[in-house]
A = this chain, B = another copy of it.
């Protein structure tokens, strides 16, 4: 896991932060948040909040009291304890790209299928930089929507021993994923003590949570699993065309959702979600990786810290590009680097995201891993001591000489510099005689090689049997209800 030790960059002045703080307070109190779920409304009413129709007018101080119950640190257990994640202020968790219906593989763009799901989980497994596949590393079109979650949860358990995410878009699926986690980890009590799943709960921005998301939130919170409450705000569509307003809105929505999680189970682990970007006002399409994304990330970190919350960066590695080209790399880095600068604790979509999230791309997986590896080195403070100066080397090289053959170089040349997966320093002639491949083409070679090196981690046979039995039974039950 990456331990972040540099101070986060702060771009909001204290005065500006106060304005945003005043903003979310007025939004939750005056406009209120709509919760399309009678049970949730009842809980808010019982806690003394004013409910008008389906809109809850929240007392902001009460919201902060709820939020204060969220633990400052918690683990996310993997079935291999060595892969268990620790969520903490100075840690960064990196998660694969999520939810793409399409896949790009080389020059081919097509519907995602189950085999892609398995391959992306395997890539996540072999790459140390990725702490978790999350849940829907892609959305396979060759599996029925009603029972897909059973196959995908099974694949997440079998193909990796890293912690993974619960099925979050539907409460039935959420409960099934919790039941399967219980089978993996030895029962309900075990996962209540140390959560085994995180569930990403999206607000239906602006200022609304819909029925299914609330039910999923309640299911995860009841089981003490990690709730990541994320408004997805494309300014101009789900929010005003103002970063300040979108930040106030995001804070209002996220804190309101977290407050509900604490009503369900005080002390439930929760993460403040952030996802602010913009709509291209000419095309109406979403845009990622421009200044708006970066400013949104930097400011979100400041706001989360003000409330003592761990926070999710909407994503690192985001891009609207259609190919793994210059735009893709620029936008990806211009979301990942701000996530590092802002000290995000959970970075979704950290590998593979393309085409505004519609595509999970194998080649992008590789270039994103290069980015992660490079940034992890850059964000490790440079600690220098006298031997690092290697003053004797200067005498050895001499004035105007060179260092290829000095003792210090010969001792360190193998591992002194970062060696990229897909980037090339070849001279033009050599590069051309090797086929003149661009970065995306070189990345294709690398992910195939990475997959070749995959080995399935062992899964206890009785656990596997219990899971298979559960999946078979639930499949029959769900199909019977269709």
Contact = CB atoms under 8 A, between A and B. Distances in A.
A161 interface: no
A408 B246 CA distance: 13
A295 B378 contact: yes
Interface in A296-339: 298-299, 320-334, 337-338
Contacts of A208: 399-400
Contacts of A466: none
Contacts of A451: none
Interface in A392-424: 393-395, 397-404, 406, 408-409, 412-414, 416-420, 422-424
Contact of A399 (B206, B355, B371, B414): B206
A409 B245 CA distance: 12
A198 to B, nearest CB: 25
Contact of A324 (B30, B326, B337): B326
A355 to B, nearest CB: 6
B417 A280 contact: yes
Contacts of A412: 241-242
B290 A418 contact: yes
Contacts of A20: 384, 389
B245 A322 contact: no
A235 B326 contact: no
A285 interface: yes
Contact of A12 (B30, B382, B418): B382
B290 A417 contact: yes
A393 B400 CA distance: 66
A397 B244 contact: no
A437 to B, nearest CB: 9
Interface residues of A, number: 131
Contacts of A295: 377-378, 382
A443 B325 CA distance: 12
Interface stretch (A146-154, A176-184, A224-232, A425-433): A425-433
A11 to B, nearest CB: 5
A456 interface: no
A109 interface: yes
A330 B243 CA distance: 26
A34 interface: yes
Contact of A326 (B241, B384, B401, B438): B438
A418 B295 CA distance: 12
Contacts of A332: 330
A314 B194 CA distance: 49
Contacts of A60: none
A438 B33 CA distance: 42
Given A236-B413, A391-B27, A425-B287, A321 B13 contact: no
Contacts of A321: 423-424, 439
A457 B429 CA distance: 40
Contacts of A440: 325-326
A356 interface: yes
A75 interface: no
A383 interface: yes
Contacts of A420: 290
Nearest to A34: B399
Closest 8 interchain pairs by CB? A291-B377, A244-B388, A326-B329, A16-B384, A34-B399, A329-B329, A326-B439, A208-B400
